[in-house]
Structures are given as structure tokens and as C-alpha cells.
């Protein structure tokens, strides 16, 4: 098993003002505990030796020794033969992840229950008309078998044109239409990965992607995102230490953080991927959802790293009911992708492909309407949170469908349990963690509900937060974790 490590020089800046606490060892232990609990130091990472950390901090050896001992007593540090002191979570083995895939409901408001687990929208205006036009086109396909493993030519041409316009030259033979972006990920995993292959994933990330890759036999390895998004130097170190076969990334309005990877970061990350011969698997399902119509988007990551498979889908930009996604890949990988796809299904529904082709022809109008609704809902959620829960911190995203909120205390899972009792369904931060932690975070989608329902949801959220705080353990140093 490959053990990752973090150097003392990299760890020290992450500790903040830890040593200002008295006694110093307690401040150091608490700072390290939070780094592990939040997933910024992934479970299974080898920490610096006591001697190296002592030198880097300029403190006594006793301070570091007592801090490490405290962390071992509380389950946040384990001793592994040949690996020294390794980050852990209480009651867990290294690499074990809490939570399961998100399970969307058919309605986000059922009776008096508000579901805030699904970041999605209802169908845009004009969808019925698009179906009507598609039905008129359907007869000319009925004389065939209906199986189109690569997808309809008209749709593949439209998608290829979009990539080319964005700075990634693409032809229709590089496109495969799938039954959703997640199906595209399953096809890609089956084509490119073997059981036991390591895959690097940002942490936090989309839970269903974690489970899809794990069920393919892949071993998930976390790449922690910091508060500003990607640290290319850290990514390069993680790639060199773990040598993954592939890296699953969401550079465009990242789910759940909303971060947007810059052109410079994409170029740097591409160099790191190329240096370790790692295939990029890039999820672009949110790329069309910039909140500001004037935002200049970076080129696709595949424009910097040709050995990249790009996944797209209609669910976020258009409607989940279409169940249409796609893969854009290098030509030399298409044969393997087609072979893998045929073990899963034989093609996406013809009618829905025709509908999406129609919607793409009026893409700008549809996205402008979507943008207006998204920004209105976002502003309603932001206003309500700042009014009722002012201590909660979040970064206003430039795009996407949700806020990634940092809580004042590590109570995400107890908060979700308390919210459930008040008719509010939430997904805890731990569900988005690759290797555990994230108990100080919560994803809050701001789509699918009217501003009035959002306001009601935040009112319940504030009451649930008070419930979770009143029920938390009072023993000093105890942090509630997922059961």
C-alpha cells in the first residue's frame, strides 16, 4: 500500500496560530485534529517525524511529543510499521469513507418536508415544444434498430462544435452519447481502469462519482482542496507519491465548493498529470452555469492535457429527465470506450437525443433563463443565511448550483439528524469526503425551490443548528463524527 506523506514545511503554514494556545501542545493537537477531521490532511497520510516538526515549529520536542500522544489517544493518529505517525479518524481504518451516494427524490418538496440534497432544476421553458419537434423528427429513425452506441450524428456534431468553440478542437468521432454523465463515468472506468488501480479525486467531491469509481474496483486517493480551490504544488506531490492511473476532477464550478480552476492552474495541473502519465477524467456537467454572463471561462482542461476524457451532461444545464450525457475523448481511446459501453447498454434513447439537439440550437436563450433563476435563488439563500446564521462562512461561487458552507463547529452530521426532525433533508459534509472528515462542512443547493421555500428552509436550519449545538458532547476536545 502506498503511504502519502506531508512535509513539515508544508504542514506548518496550515497550522495557523495553533501555538498561541496554552498549553502549546494542546493548541498543536487541536489544529492537527481539525486538519484531519476537515480532510485537509487525508486519512492515511504520514505526518512529519517529531524531530522534523519540532525543528520546523521552533518548539520543544516535548510539545510535539505530547501533541502526537494526545492525537493517538483520541484516535486521530495511528502508528503504522514502516510509516511512522499516520492520520486517522476515530473508529475507522485508513481510507474508509463515511456516507453513501446521494439519492435524489422525485420531488424536492414532499408535503411539508424540504429536500436540500439535490442540486438540480426543473425543466426550462420550451421543453414541451422541443419534445413536440423531436416527435416530428422521430419517424425517420423508426425504420432502424434504434441502437446508436455512439449517439445520433446530429447531436454529436452539435457537441463537437461546442468544444471547438471553447478552444478544444473536436470532431464528432471523438464524441460518445451516454445515458447521463454518471453513466459516462462508469463507461470510462470500465474502459480504462483495472481492479486495484488508484484514482485521485478532489476532496470534497461528488459522492456518486466516488461510489462509481470504487464499485469499478478503483482505490480512491484524496486530493484535498483548500479554501481557494486547487493547490497545484500539492496536486503534483500527490500525483508523484501515489502514481494514480487516473484523476477525476471537476474544474468548472466544482461540486460542492463552486470553485473555478484558472487557466494557469489548468496548465500546471496538466503538466503534473503528464509527468506521472495519469489520464484525466474531467467532469464538466456544471460548465454552462456561470452566474455572470460576462465571465470569461478558461479553456477545457483537455486543451492542456490531451490524455483527458471529458464528461458532460444535460441534467444540470437543461433537465435531469432527459438522461443524456456524453464523453469527449482522444481518438485512440474511443475503441476501448465503445467496447466498455457495449457491456453496459447499447445506446441512449433516440427521442431524448433529438430533444437535446433541439435545445442546444437555442442554448443561449435557455442558459440566460437558467442563470436568472439560479442567481435569484442563490441570493435568497445567501441573504437568509447571513440573517439567521451569521457565523456560518462560505465563499460566494462564480457558478454552479450550491454553497459549500463551513460551520463554526464540527457538527455536520448531528445537524443533518436534527434537521431531519424538523422536516429538512440535508447531506452532511462527510458524504462528500473521499477519505473521511468534512464534519465542519455542509452543502446547500440553492436551486429547485422558490425564494419563499428557501427562506423557510433556512429558518428550520437555524433551529436545527441550535438543536445540534445543545446536544453536542461537552467533554473538552471531543468532536462528533459520523457513526
> With bands split at pLDDT 50, 70 and 90, how would you rate the model's confidence at 92?
low
Tell me what pLDDT residue 472 has: 62
> With bands split at pLDDT 50, 70 and 90, how would you rate the model's confidence at 11?
confident
C-alpha cell at 249: 476532477
pLDDT of 474 higher than 50: no
Cβ burial of 3 (10 Å; 0-12, 13-18, 19+) is middle
Nearest to 441 by CA among 409, 417, 467: 409
Tell me what pLDDT residue 24 has: 86
Tell me what pLDDT residue 3 has: 66
DSSP characters over 328-353: E--HHHHHHHHHHHTTT-S---HHHH
d(CA 75, CA 481): 11
What pLDDT, in 10s, does the model give residues 348-379? 999 999 999 999 999 999 999 999 999 999 99
Chain centroid to Cα 258, Å, comes to 9
Tell me what pLDDT residue 208 has: 94
Q: Tell me the average pLDDT across 420-441.
A: 90
Tell me what pLDDT residue 480 has: 33
pLDDT of 106 higher than 70: no
pLDDT of 473 higher than 60: no
pTM, to two decimals? 0.84
> With bands split at pLDDT 50, 70 and 90, how would you rate the model's confidence at 93?
very low
Tell me what pLDDT residue 107 has: 58
Q: Tell me the average pLDDT across 409-428.
A: 91
Tell me what pLDDT residue 2 has: 58
pLDDT of 45 higher than 90: no
Going by DSSP bridges, is the β-strand pair 246-249/198-203 parallel, antiparallel, or unpaired? Answer: parallel
What pLDDT, in 10s, does the model give residues 202-226? 999 999 999 999 999 999 999 999 8
Percent of the chain with pLDDT over 70: 91
Tell me what pLDDT residue 444 has: 97
List the 279-283 sheet strands across, edge first. Answer: 175-178, 325-328, 308-313, 279-283, 246-249, 198-203, 219-224
pLDDT of 482 higher than 70: no
> With bands split at pLDDT 50, 70 and 90, how would you rate the model's confidence at 78?
confident
Q: What is the DSSP letter of 172?
A: G
CB distance 284 to 317 below 8 Å: no
pLDDT of 443 higher than 60: yes
Scan for cell 456544471, then name that residue.
Answer: 286
d(CA 304, CA 212): 26
d(CA 53, CA 31): 14
Percent of the chain with pLDDT over 90: 70
Domains and CATH numbers, the chain: 8-87 (1.10.10.10), 114-123+365-471 (3.90.1150.10), 127-362 (3.40.640.10)
Tell me what pLDDT residue 30 has: 83
pLDDT of 392 higher than 70: yes
Tell me what pLDDT residue 300 has: 98
Tell me what pLDDT residue 110 has: 54
C-alpha cell at 295: 465571465
Amino acid at each position: 500500500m502506498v503511504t502519502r506523506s506531508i512535509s513539515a514545511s508544508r504542514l506548518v503554514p496550515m497550522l495557523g496560530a495553533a501555538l498561541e494556545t496554552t498549553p502549546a501542545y494542546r493548541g498543536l493537537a487541536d489544529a492537527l485534529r481539525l486538519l484531519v477531521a476537515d480532510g485537509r490532511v487525508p486519512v492515511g497520510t504520514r505526518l512529519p517525524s517529531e524531530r522534523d516538526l519540532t525543528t520546523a515549529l521552533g518548539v520543544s520536542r516535548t510539545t510535539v511529543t505530547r501533541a502526537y500522544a494526545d492525537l493517538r489517544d483520541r484516535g486521530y493518529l495511528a502508528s503504522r510499521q514502516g510509516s511512522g505517525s499516520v492520520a486517522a479518524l476515530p473508529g475507522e481504518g485508513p481510507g474508509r469513507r463515511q456516507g453513501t451516494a446521494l439519492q435524489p427524490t422525485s420531488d424536492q418538496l414532499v408535503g411539508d418536508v424540504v429536500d436540500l440534497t439535490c442540486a438540480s432544476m426543473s425543466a426550462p421553458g420550451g421543453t414541451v415544444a422541443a419534445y413536440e419537434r423531436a416527435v416530428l423528427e422521430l419517424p425517420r429513425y423508426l425504420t432502424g434498430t434504434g441502437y446508436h452506441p455512439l449517439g445520433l450524428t446530429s447531436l454529436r456534431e452539435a457537441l463537437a462544435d461546442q468544444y471547438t468553440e471553447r478552444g478544444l478542437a473536436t470532431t464528432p468521432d471523438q464524441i460518445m452519447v451516454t445515458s447521463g454523465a454518471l453513466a459516462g463515468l462508469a463507461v470510462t472506468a470500465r474502459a480504462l481502469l483495472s481492479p486495484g488501480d488508484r484514482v485521485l479525486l478532489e476532496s470534497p467531491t461528488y459522492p456518486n462519482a466516488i461510489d462509481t469509481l470504487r464499485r469499478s474496483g478503483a482505490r480512491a486517493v484524496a486530493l484535498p482542496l483548500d479554501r481557494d480551490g486547487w493547490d497545484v504544488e500539492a496536486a503534483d506531490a500527490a500525483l508523484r507519491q501515489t502514481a494514480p492511473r487516473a484523476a477525476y476532477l471537476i474544474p468548472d464550478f466544482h461540486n460542492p465548493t463552486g470553485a473555478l480552476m484558472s487557466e494557469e492552474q489548468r496548465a500546471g495541473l496538466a503538466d503534473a498529470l503528464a509527468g506521472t502519465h495519469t489520464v484525466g477524467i474531467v467532469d464538466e456537467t456544471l460548465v454552462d452555469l456561470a452566474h455572470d454572463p460576462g465571465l470569461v471561462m478558461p479553456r477545457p482542461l483537455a486543451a492542456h492535457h490531451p490524455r483527458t476524457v471529458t464528461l458532460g451532461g444535460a441534467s444540470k444545464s437543461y433537465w435531469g429527465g432527459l438522461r443524456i450525457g456524453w464523453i469527449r475523448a482522444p481518438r485512440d481511446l474511443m475503441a476501448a470506450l465503445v467496447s466498455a459501453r457495449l457491456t453496459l447498454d447499447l445506446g441512449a434513447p433516440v427521442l431524448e437525443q433529438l430533444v437535446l439537439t433541439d435545445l442546444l440550437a437555442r442554448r443561449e436563450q435557455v442558459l440566460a433563463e437558467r442563470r436568472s433563476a439560479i442567481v435569484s435563488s442563490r441570493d435568497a439563500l445567501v441573504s437568509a443565511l447571513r440573517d439567521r446564521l451569521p457565523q456560518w462562512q462560505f465563499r460566494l461561487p462564480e457558478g454552479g448550483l450550491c454553497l459549500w458552507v463551513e460551520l463554526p463547529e464540527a457538527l455536520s452530521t448531528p445537524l443533518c439528524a436534527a434537521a431531519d426532525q424538523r422536516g429538512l433533508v440535508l447531506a452532511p459534509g462527510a458524504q462528500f469526503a473521499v477519505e473521511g472528515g468534512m464534519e465542519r462542512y455542509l452543502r446547500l443547493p440553492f436551486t429547485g425551490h422558490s425564494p419563499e421555500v428557501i427562506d423557510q428552509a433556512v429558518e428550520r436550519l437555524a433551529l436545527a443548528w441550535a438543536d445540534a449545538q445543545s446536544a453536542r458532547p461537552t467533554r473538552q476536545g471531543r468532536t462528533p463524527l459520523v457513526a
